[in-house]
Homo-oligomer: A and B are copies of this chain.
Amino acid sequence: MTNAVTELKNIGKAAKEASRKLAYLSTDVKNKALLNIAEDLRSKTKEILTANKLDLKQAMANGINKTMQDRLLLNETRLEGMAKDVLNVATLPDPVGEVFDMRTMPNGLLIGRKRVPLGAIGAMYESRPNVTVDIATLCLKSGNAVILRGGKEAINSNLALSKLVQKAIARASVPEGAVQFIENTDRSLVDKMLKMNEYIDLMIPRGSDAFVRLVVRNATMAVVAGGIGVCHTYIDLTADIDKAVAIVYNAKVQKPSVCNALDTILVHKGIAARFLSLVAKELAKAGVELHCDARSLSILKSKRGLKLKAAVKEDWGKEFLALIAAVKVVGSLDEALEHIARYGSGHSEAIVTEDYASGMRFLNEVDAACVYLNASTRFTDGSQFGLGAEVGISTQKMHARGPLGLKELTSYKWIIFGNGQVRP
């Protein structure tokens, strides 16, 4: 254990040291490194898939469910997708070095802000091995050193991928220590890593609500927390019913296991009967179970083929991550806003309405990372927002909110060009 801790510290030191050089590594070198990674993902599929098979075998021996198996699985198509994602990051503009707010002050000082990397980033995540490559490439392009710690179940895949990345970027002369992976999956090392604020500037935890909370509570460095999405879609009195049904269906069904999927349907009483009958029928085709408040239950209970339950208190503010949605009839937009303020997690919230004033009030008054007017909350995603990719989604207000792309992995410094100025 003492050895493991010493090793962890050395990883931290190496990251910090590498970060000083990465801060002013040229865009050309960084892009060359990214091209090398993509190349190797295409040419070394065999090694990666062999490692992945080991993880899958172990997972099945442990009786892991199908969803989890699918999250673990790599194949040639997925590796090609990863290679394309890396190439995409290479085409994105380098955020580092951007100068903004530059101006000449009355005393002749030229003052502005220059974008710089954050330094060394720690990332803790679960199962999906592609996250290893995603986060490594985004950190590299934004000039940050990164220490990766993946889940135990994907250890062989992650090790193979991180070694591939390390070799690929070394060929482009990226400083050693830029991308490191913690091989030891001992849980107690998580806590040790959270105390390494001397070496790690920012921690990005990805995983369950409980895990993210644990990191927030114990980390000594800055944390970008998020990913917990209790997402509401409110169907206003004047909603276009077809759009409303399509949006709710998409937000709930297209990928129910993710944070931007719909959890609660709020619907105005004046449109509830028509809307709920239609949407419930569609959702039933996908096997969605509805947890209904008294009013929505009385509308739906006579319909055939629906999976209905009476909602309990715990259904409000719950992130289902499954084919389940809570349903509530509200008396007004104000009641919907109140409900969202009380139960939302500040992730993604939507209104469907044809009324201008209602739409604008919702956009203004809902306090969340992403607020939608007539669109599915499933769009909350770095690539869908034009950021190219993301290392996570922040539900906090400090530093960055919503999807974290390259720019969100940077800070700035003030640069001041003088000619001997002193303060009077």
* Residues of A that sit less than 8 Å from B by CB: 20, 23-24, 103, 105, 109, 111, 114, 116, 118-119, 201-202, 222, 240, 242-243, 246-247, 249-251, 254, 341, 363-365, 367-376, 378-380, 384-386, 396-399, 401-402, 411-423
With both beta carbons as reference points, the residue of chain B lying nearest to A201 in the complex is identified as: B397
B23, A379: Cβ atoms closer than 8 Å: no
- In the docked arrangement, what's the CA distance between A414 and B394, Å? 12
- Between A and B, 30 residue pairs with Cβ closer than 8 Å are A24-B364, A105-B386, A111-B385, A116-B367, A116-B397, A118-B398, A201-B398, A202-B398, A222-B396, A222-B398, A240-B420, A243-B419, A254-B422, A371-B416, A372-B418, A373-B415, A373-B418, A374-B421, A375-B416, A375-B419, A375-B421, A376-B423, A379-B416, A379-B421, A379-B423, A397-B411, A398-B398, A398-B411, A399-B399, A401-B412
Known: A20-B341, A365-B24. A371 touches B415 (CB 8 A): yes
Contacts of A249 in B (CB 8 A): 422
A62 to chain B, nearest CB (A): 33
Which B residues are in CB contact (< 8 Å) with A415? 363, 371, 373
CB-CB under 8 A for A414 and B385, given A246-B420, A378-B423, A379-B423:
yes
Task: Verify B379–A246 contact, CB threshold 8 A.
Answer: no
Main secondary structure of the interface of A (DSSP, over half): mixed
B222 and A373 contact, CB distance less than 8 A: no
Considering the chains assembled together, what is the distance between the CA atoms of A24 and B379 in angstroms?
26
A421 vs B109: C-alpha distance in the bound complex, in angstroms? Answer: 49
Q: Is the CB of A422 within 8 A of B378?
A: yes
Given contact pairs A202-B398, A376-B421, a sample of 8 additional A-B residue pairs in the complex whose CB atoms are under 8 Å apart: A105-B384, A109-B375, A116-B367, A240-B420, A375-B419, A379-B421, A384-B423, A401-B414
List residues of chain B with CB within 8 A of the CB of A423.
Answer: 250, 254, 376, 378-379, 384
Provided the pairs A24-B364, A385-B111 are in contact, do residues A414 and B376 lie with their beta carbons within 8 angstroms?
A: no
Chain B contacts for A118, CB-based, 8 A: 397-398
